[in-house]
C-alpha cells in the first residue's frame, strides 16, 4: 500500500486533526516524539478563501512539521476548490485533507463536516472539486455515517475512493453518536478490505497498546491518534516500539514530563501573538500533562489558574520540592479520581 507522499515508516503514525489541540507547537512536539505525519485542525474553506486573518494564521507551519496535511471543511464546492488552491499555492503542505467527520451543530447545519454524509453525491462533488483545484494529493476523514440508519462506512469509503481520495481515515462512529459508544474497529477492518487506497484507523486509542491492537486487528495502513496524545506525545515512540516488536519505552518520569510540558509551553508562547491568551489556551495541556500524578487534583487546580506561562515553572518547581520533602500524597477521594483518570 503506497502513500501519495513520502512517509518514513511502513505503518505511519498520525497525529489527528484536532481543533484547539493539533496546532503548530503540539504538532512539532509530536513529530519529535515519533509522529510520522501531522494534520492541522479543520479550517473553514470560506474563512480561507476570504482570507480571514484568524483562519490564515492557523495555516502557519514550520519545516519540522512536514509531512503535514491541511484539513479543510465546507459544503460549497466552489469555496472548497478555491480554499484548496490558496492552501496549495501559498502554504504547500504535503496533502489536503477534507473533513467529513465533524459532528458540531454549527458546522453540520450548513452541511459541512459529517453533514455531507447525508448526501453522498455532495461528498463526491466536494472531493472532485478539491482534486481539480490542487496538484497535491487529496485525502478524506469520514465517520461511519450520519445516523445509525445511514451507517454504511464501506459504501461511503468506496464513494470517496471513486471520487479521487488518495488516503481515507475512518473514525468508526456516526455523527449521531458524537463521541459516545465504542469506536467500531471491525468497520475499519471492513473498509481496509474494501478499498485499494491506504486506510487509516482512528478512534478510542488511549495508549500505545491500543494503537498496536488497532493495527493488529484491522491491518490498517496507518494509525491516527487523537485524544491518546493528550499530555503524552511520547505515545508515538511507544507505539513505534510495539510495532517493531521491541519493548515499549516507559513514560518519562515526572521531572522529564514537566520539562516536556514547559518546553511545549515555551513553544506555544513563541508561536502565539498574545501571551496571556496563550497561557489561558495552554491550561488544558497542563491538566493533561499532570493527569494521574499523586496529588494531581491540587496541582491541576493551581495550573488551571495560571495567567502566564512563567508561573507554570514555579508551580512545577514547588511540586517537585514538596515531593522531595515527602509532602505529596493524595487524599483517598483524590486517589480514586486519579486512578480512574489514569485508567
Ligand X SMILES: Cc1cc2nc3c(=O)[nH]c(=O)nc-3n(C[C@H](O)[C@H](O)[C@H](O)COP(=O)(O)O)c2cc1C
Residues designated as active site: 102
Secondary structure (3-state) at 174: strand
Diameter of the chain by CA atoms? Answer: 65
Say if CB 188 and CB 166 are below 8 A apart: no
Q: Counting contacts by CB under 6 A, is residue 17 touching ligand X? A: yes
Q: What is the nearest approach in angstroms of ligand X to the Cβ of residue 102?
A: 6
Residue 192 vs 226, nearer CB to ligand X: 226
Among 112, 80, 72, smallest CA distance to 96 is for 72
Figure out which of the listed residues 203, 222, 233, 295 binds ligand X, where binding follows CB under 6 A.
203
Query: What is d(CA 69, CA 281) in angstroms, rounded to the nearest whole number?
Result: 23
Say if CB 70 and CB 84 are below 8 A apart: no
Figure out which of the listed residues 128, 213, 227, 283 binds ligand X, where binding follows CB under 6 A.
227
Q: Counting contacts by CB under 6 A, is residue 18 touching ligand X? A: yes
Rounded to whole angstroms, what are the CA distances from 74 to 123, 163, 180, 197, 228? 10, 17, 24, 23, 27
Q: Counting contacts by CB under 6 A, is residue 237 touching ligand X? A: no
Segment contacting ligand X by CB under 6 A, of 15-23, 51-59, 74-82, 192-200: 15-23
C-beta neighbour count of 226 within 10 angstroms: 19
Contacts of 271 (CB under 8 A, 6+ apart): 23, 24, 25, 60, 278
Segment contacting ligand X by CB under 6 A, of 95-103, 127-135, 313-321, 328-336: 95-103
C-alpha cell of residue 187: 468497520
Question: What is the total count of residues that contact ligand X (CB under 6 A)?
Answer: 22
Figure out which of the listed residues 205, 261, 262, 286 binds ligand X, where binding follows CB under 6 A.
205
Figure out which of the listed residues 7, 11, 13, 21 binds ligand X, where binding follows CB under 6 A.
21
Query: What is d(CA 137, CA 97) in angstroms, rounded to the nearest whole number?
Result: 8
One symbol per residue from 102 to 141: x for binding ligand X (CB under 6 A), - otherwise; what is it?
Answer: x--------------------------------------x
Q: Counting contacts by CB under 6 A, is residue 167 touching ligand X? A: no
The residue length of the chain stands at: 343
Figure out which of the listed residues 5, 26, 42, 212 binds ligand X, where binding follows CB under 6 A.
42
| Positions that interact with ligand X (CB under 6 A) | 16-21, 41-42, 71, 99, 101-102, 141, 171, 183, 202-205, 226-228
Amino acid at each position: 500500500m503506497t502513500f501519495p507522499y513520502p512517509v518514513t515508516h511502513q505503518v505511519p503514525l498520525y497525529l489527528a486533526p484536532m481543533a484547539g489541540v493539533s496546532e503548530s507547537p503540539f504538532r512539532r512536539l509530536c513529530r519529535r516524539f515519533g509522529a510520522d505525519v501531522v494534520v492541522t485542525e479543520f479550517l473553514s474553506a470560506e474563512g480561507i478563501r476570504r482570507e480571514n486573518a484568524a483562519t490564515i494564521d492557523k495555516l502557519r507551519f514550520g519545516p519540522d512539521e512536514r509531512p503535514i496535511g491541511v484539513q479543510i471543511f465546507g459544503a460549497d464546492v466552489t469555496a472548497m476548490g478555491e480554499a484548496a488552491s490558496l492552501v496549495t499555492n501559498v502554504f504547500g503542505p504535503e496533502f489536503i485533507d477534507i473533513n467529513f467527520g465533524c459532528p458540531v451543530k454549527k458546522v453540520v447545519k450548513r452541511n459541512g463536516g459529517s453533514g455531507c454524509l447525508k448526501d453522498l453525491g455532495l461528498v463526491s462533488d466536494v472531493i472532485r472539486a478539491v482534486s481539480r483545484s490542487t496538484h497535491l494529493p487529496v485525502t478524506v476523514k469520514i465517520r461511519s455515517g450520519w445516523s445509525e440508519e445511514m451507517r454504511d462506512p464501506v459504501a461511503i469509503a468506496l464513494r470517496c475512493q471513486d471520487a479521487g481520495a488518495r488516503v481515507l481515515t475512518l473514525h468508526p462512529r456516526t455523527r449521531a453518536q458524537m463521541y459516545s459508544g465504542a469506536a467500531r474497529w471491525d468497520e475499519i477492518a471492513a473498509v481496509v478490505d474494501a478499498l485499494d487506497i491506504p486506510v487509516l484507523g482512528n478512534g478510542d486509542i488511549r495508549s500505545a497498546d491500543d494503537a498496536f491492537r488497532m493495527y493488529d486487528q484491522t491491518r490498517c495502513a496507518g494509525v491516527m491518534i487523537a485524544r491518546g496524545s493528550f499530555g503524552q506525545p511520547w505515545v508515538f515512540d511507544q507505539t513505534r516500539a510495539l510495532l517493531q516488536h521491541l519493548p515499549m519505552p516507559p513514560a518519562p518520569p515526572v521531572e522529564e514530563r514537566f520539562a516536556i510540558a514547559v518546553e511545549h509551553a515555551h513553544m506555544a508562547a513563541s508561536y502565539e501573538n498574545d501571551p496571556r491568551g496563550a497561557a489561558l489556551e495552554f491550561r488544558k495541556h497542563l491538566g493533561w500533562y499532570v493527569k494521574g500524578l499523586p496529588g494531581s487534583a491540587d496541582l491541576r487546580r493551581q495550573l488551571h489558574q495560571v495567567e502566564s506561562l512563567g508561573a507554570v515553572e514555579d508551580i512545577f518547581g514547588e511540586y517537585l520540592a514538596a515531593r522531595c520533602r515527602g509532602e505529596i500524597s493524595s487524599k483517598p477521594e483524590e486517589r480514586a479520581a486519579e486512578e480512574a483518570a489514569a485508567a
